[in-house]
Every structure is written in C-alpha cells, then in structure tokens.
Amino acid sequence: MADDKNSQTDSNANNQTEGDLKRLSDETQPGAASQAGGEAKSEGKSAMTSEELTEQLAKVRNEFLYLYAEFENYKKNAIKERSDMRKYGSERLVVDILNVLDIFDTALALENTPENMAQFRKGIEMTAHELKSALQKNGVEEIPALGSEFNPSYHEALSSEETADLPPGYVSRVFKKPYKLHDRVVRPGQVVVAKAKN
C-alpha cells in the first residue's frame, strides 16, 4: 500500500512538473514571438536608415559633380575672357586711331603747293588734335613737364643746363613728353633739368 501511495505521489509530481513546463512554454512562446518581431522590426528600421543614407550620399555626390562641372566651365570661360581681353582689349583705341589715319591719308593725297601750305598746316594741327582726343577718350593723357619740378616717377633726365629762367631741379626742356594711361605712367618724359649758374 505504501508503495502504491508513493508511486501515486511521484506520478502526481511528474504531472505537475509537466504542467508547469507546458505552462512556462506557453507563456514564453508569445514573448519569444514578440521579441522576434521586435528584432525583425529593428532590422527593417536599420535597413531603411541605410537606404536613406545611400540616397543622401547619391544626392550629395550628384550635387558635387554638378558644382565641379560648373566650376570647370567657369575656369574655361575666365581663361577665354582673359585671352580675348589681351587680344582684343585695345579694339576701341585702334578704331579711334584708324579714324585719325584716314585724315592723314586724305591729307597726303592732296598735292602740296605754296598756295595750300597754310591749309595743309592747319590740317596737320587738326589731325594732331583729333589724335590727342582719341587717346584721351581711351584714358591716355599727357603729363605736363615743361617748367614743372623734376619728378623721377614721370621724367627721365637726359642732361642738365644752367639757366636763370627756372629754379634748379625744374624741367627746362622736353625732348619727349611723358604720358600716363589712367593712373599708370606708360612713358616717362625725356627732359633737361635746370641747374644754378656758377
């Protein structure tokens, strides 16, 4: 009888253990499923972020390539403009001087006689005035030299001479007039500088 009782107790214990295991298994399975779903979601989320990063990278790369192409075009245009400026920058001046050359050609085509000498001289004076006007329009101006104080920035002294007409260090004679283009001296004048008499 005792053995039957013990065997029944063991059977009950086994049944209870099996029931507990089954219950734990049932309770664990939904949690595991939920956890698996969470991991899947997490993987889906990370995959989506990776796609977004790839799209952003592609967008930035395209923008960079576009800007690089624009910059290369700008460089080519700047080089071409600089080359054209060097080559054709003096076009306006050339056109103005050609107008003066036309006047010279007309004057040289006339026969020079004693009767028209005065008229010929007047024509030369008008042509010189026209040439100076063309140069001034293009920023070329004469720098006054005669009677002014010697300035090595504007003048090149060829010699000196004694004179009572001007103070020492002043320009007494001019062989070539100095000229400037806007604010830059393009040709210094060749002059003689006055010095005191001994």
Q: Which of 34-48, 86-100, 169-183 has the lowest mean pLDDT?
A: 34-48
Question: For 89-110, where are the alpha helices, taking DSSP H only?
Answer: 91-109
Q: What does pLDDT average to over the chain?
A: 80
How high is the pLDDT of residue 169? 92
How high is the pLDDT of residue 51? 84
70 pLDDT band, cuts 50/70/90, is very high
CA 141/CA 132 separation, integer angstroms: 8
In this structure, CATH architecture of domain 141-198: Roll (2.30)
Q: Are 97 and 131 in contact (CB under 8 A)?
A: yes
The domain spans of the chain are: 1-88, 90-138, 141-198
CA 10/CA 6 separation, integer angstroms: 6
How high is the pLDDT of residue 78? 92
CB under 8 Å to 155, separation ≥6 — which residues?
145, 171, 178, 188, 189, 190, 191, 193
How high is the pLDDT of residue 22? 57
Q: What is the largest CA-CA distance in the chain?
A: 171
Residue range 8-63, pLDDT digits in tens: 445 554 555 555 545 545 554 444 444 444 444 444 445 568 888 888 899 999 99
Q: What are phi and psi of 19, to 5 degrees?
A: -65, -40
> Residues 125, 180, 174, CA angle at the centre, nearest 5°?
60
Q: Name the residue with tokens 């065997």.
A: 7
pTM: 0.56
Residue range 118-171, pLDDT digits in tens: 888 888 888 889 999 999 998 999 999 999 999 999 999 999 999 888 899 999
Q: Which amino acid is at 37?
A: G
